Amino acid sequence: MFFDIVIIGAGPAGLCFARSLSGSGLRIALVERQEEAALMAPADDGREIAITHHSQRLMRELGLWARLREDEIGTLRDAMVLDGDDRDGLMFRHDEAGKSQLGWLLSNHAIRRAAYAEVMELPAVERITGAQVTTVRTSSDGAEVELANRESLHTQLVVAADSRFSDTRRAMGIAAGMHDFGKTMLVLRMQHDVSHEQVAWEWFGHGQTLALLPLHDSHTSSVVLTLSPQAMKTLLALDDAALEAAMAERFQQRLGAMRVVGPRCTYPLVGVYAKRFVAERFALIGDAAVGMHPVTAHGFNFGLLGQDTLAHELCAALTAGRPFWSASVLQRYERRHRRATRPLYLATQMLAGLYTDDRRPARLVRKLALGAGARLGPFKRMVMSGLTADSTTIPTLLRRRSV
Ligand SMILES: Cc1cc2nc3c(=O)[nH]c(=O)nc-3n(C[C@H](O)[C@H](O)[C@H](O)COP(=O)(O)OP(=O)(O)OC[C@H]3O[C@@H](n4cnc5c(N)ncnc54)[C@H](O)[C@@H]3O)c2cc1C
């Protein structure tokens, strides 16, 4: 079978990329190892994704936003960063940014469901689900993707969106810088007596990091807790009643009583940055290119941005009558996406280290950073405009969630 582009991985990035190319005239194959039923109704994976203004605009343009139910959209009005036993943290207020809110919160499974529904309506996209890729070969003449059922897909360009642990990246011989933070992150939906008032919390306590992400209902939030794997194992051994009491205690009872209302989902904290995003007739997008530490809540925002950049470069080449798979087109994508993501990726690695370090010097630097940040108006304005501007530059501090 022949296609213009074969996309490997029907996660949020691969799906949005297929959708971005609709109307381009390109014939696309989308290969995914999960079965179609799981893609149409994705399981709740506990992740609540913070969405910037720029990403929201892209989601609207792609038709995803219109497919979300009202109760699936949480408002991120303000954000607060707390350090240690602080009672009043550093506040980032929407009105200081001249916006009605700083951003939005959406469940990852709702994003996936909406994106898959969009792609199902595209006649130019052939969905090959429940499929295992065994071999990827590229050369100056074209590319070939072989599946476990021995089917061969011939194509002009392969685009891999197969997660931060991408097998395709490895098969193409592309190295990646990986950093394992040695921590486990628990995401858990909880109800609480005190309203969240649409304020996200990032709380750097001693020996733990907590985040509170406000959901649509004013008394329901996604709680994000990062601990050492051993401490997490002990916590997860608790039954719901004991876990609820433990969480209320960790939040110093500031939210009143807390109740578990979602699945317990844990993730290892590993940051990944591919050494190259492109090769001959090949490109990486999504987490396969840049797998952010969730502390800056930016993996999907970058995934959306990257697929948009690549789709624009390919379409510009098509319009100019140039081969869309040529090295110069792919390298332009690589340059633009690297420029957009590298500084934040590096800053995130540094911050994640600082905020998981409970030794005294690190605590002091944190205190100084938050104190100075609170006092300096220009610094706050810079942080705010990054979150709310319809651009790609999102500042570091607010993108932080939990380390
Ligand atoms: C706890 C947590 C919180 C987060 N919070 C935020 C946030 O607030 N804001 C934000 O922007 N981002 C956030 N992220 C990051 C975001 O979830 C990811 O960046 C995003 O889901 C990555 O999408 P993707 O499509 O690149 O990869 P994935 O979602 O990993 O999808 C990859 C797809 O490829 C398929 N696949 C893999 N290998 C193969 C193969 N060999 N053949 C065929 N198919 C294959 C998989 O089945 C999967 O469907 C968070 C992540 C975590 C873990």
CA 363 to ligand 1 centroid distance, Å: 32
pLDDT score recorded for residue 141: 97
- Residue carrying structure tokens 């595209």: 122
- Protein residue with least CA distance to atom 52, ligand 1: 294
pLDDT tens-digit series, residues 55-95: 999 999 999 999 999 999 999 999 988 887 777 778 888 88
- Protein residue with least CA distance to atom 22, ligand 1: 287
pLDDT score recorded for residue 370: 55
CA 11 to ligand 1 centroid distance, Å: 6
State yes or no: pLDDT of 280 exceeds 80.
yes
Atom in ligand 1 nearest the alpha carbon of residue 39: 49
- Best mutation site among 20, 49, 267 for ligand 1 pocket (most ligand atoms within 8 Å of CB): 49
Residue 188 Cα to chain centre, angstroms: 17
- Best mutation site among 7, 30, 32 for ligand 1 pocket (most ligand atoms within 8 Å of CB): 32
Lowest mean pLDDT among 192-206, 252-266, 323-337: 192-206
CA 316 to ligand 1 centroid distance, Å: 27
CA 71 vs CA 66, 68, 78, 107, 238: distances in Å: 13, 8, 19, 11, 30
Cα separation, 312 vs 308, in Å, equals 6
- Best mutation site among 8, 54, 265, 300 for ligand 1 pocket (most ligand atoms within 8 Å of CB): 300
pLDDT tens-digit series, residues 212-223: 999 999 999 999
pLDDT score recorded for residue 403: 26
CA geometry: angle 363, 356, 166, nearest 5 deg: 155
Q: Which two tokens stand for residue 399?
A: 């993108």
- What is the percent of the chain where pLDDT is above 90? 75
Atom in ligand 1 nearest the alpha carbon of residue 287: 26
CA 12 to ligand 1 centroid distance, Å: 7
Cα separation, 144 vs 133, in Å, equals 11
pLDDT score recorded for residue 99: 87
- Protein residue with least CA distance to atom 30, ligand 1: 163
Atom in ligand 1 nearest the alpha carbon of residue 291: 19
The model's confidence at residue 155, banded by pLDDT at 50, 70 and 90, is very high
CB 162 within 8 A of CB 168: yes
State yes or no: pLDDT of 401 exceeds 50.
no
The model's confidence at residue 203, banded by pLDDT at 50, 70 and 90, is confident
- Best mutation site among 19, 108, 165 for ligand 1 pocket (most ligand atoms within 8 Å of CB): 108
Atom in ligand 1 nearest the alpha carbon of residue 299: 19
CA 97 to ligand 1 centroid distance, Å: 30
CA 153 to ligand 1 centroid distance, Å: 24
CA 163 to ligand 1 centroid distance, Å: 5
pLDDT tens-digit series, residues 156-191: 999 999 999 999 999 999 999 999 988 999 999 999
Architecture per CATH, 2-72+107-178+271-357:
3-Layer(bba) Sandwich (3.50)
Lowest mean pLDDT among 28-37, 250-259, 368-377: 368-377
pLDDT tens-digit series, residues 237-250: 999 999 999 999 99
CA 299 to ligand 1 centroid distance, Å: 8
State yes or no: pLDDT of 6 exceeds 70.
yes
Cα separation, 169 vs 154, in Å, equals 18
As annotated, the residues of the chain forming the CATH 3.50.50.60 domain(s) are: 2-72+107-178+271-357
Atom in ligand 1 nearest the alpha carbon of residue 161: 26
Lowest mean pLDDT among 28-37, 280-289, 357-366: 357-366
pLDDT score recorded for residue 372: 52
CA 53 to ligand 1 centroid distance, Å: 20
CB 310 within 8 A of CB 39: no
Atom in ligand 1 nearest the alpha carbon of residue 131: 43
CA proximity to 104, closest of 365, 387, 310, 362: 387
Whole-model pTM: value is 0.92
pLDDT tens-digit series, residues 328-381: 999 999 999 999 999 989 888 887 776 666 565 565 565 555 555 554 454 455
CB 298 within 8 A of CB 305: no
Ligand 1 shell residues, CB under 6 Å: 8-14, 31-34, 47, 49-50, 108, 133, 161-163, 167, 185, 187, 267, 286-287, 294, 297-301, 303
As annotated, the residues of the chain forming the CATH 3.30.9.10 domain(s) are: 182-268
Class of domain 182-268: alpha beta
What is the per-residue burial (b if ≥16 Cβ within 10 Å, else e) of 340-353? bbeebbebbbebbe
> Residue 44: phi, psi to the nearest 5?
-65, 115
pLDDT tens-digit series, residues 82-138: 887 777 778 888 888 788 999 999 999 999 999 999 999 999 999 999 999 999 999
The pLDDT mean for the chain works out to 89
Lowest mean pLDDT among 133-137, 277-281, 337-341, 398-402: 398-402
> Residue 314: phi, psi to the nearest 5?
-65, -45
Cα separation, 350 vs 344, in Å, equals 10
CA 10 to ligand 1 centroid distance, Å: 9
Query: For residue 81, what are the β-bridge partners?
Result: 90, 202
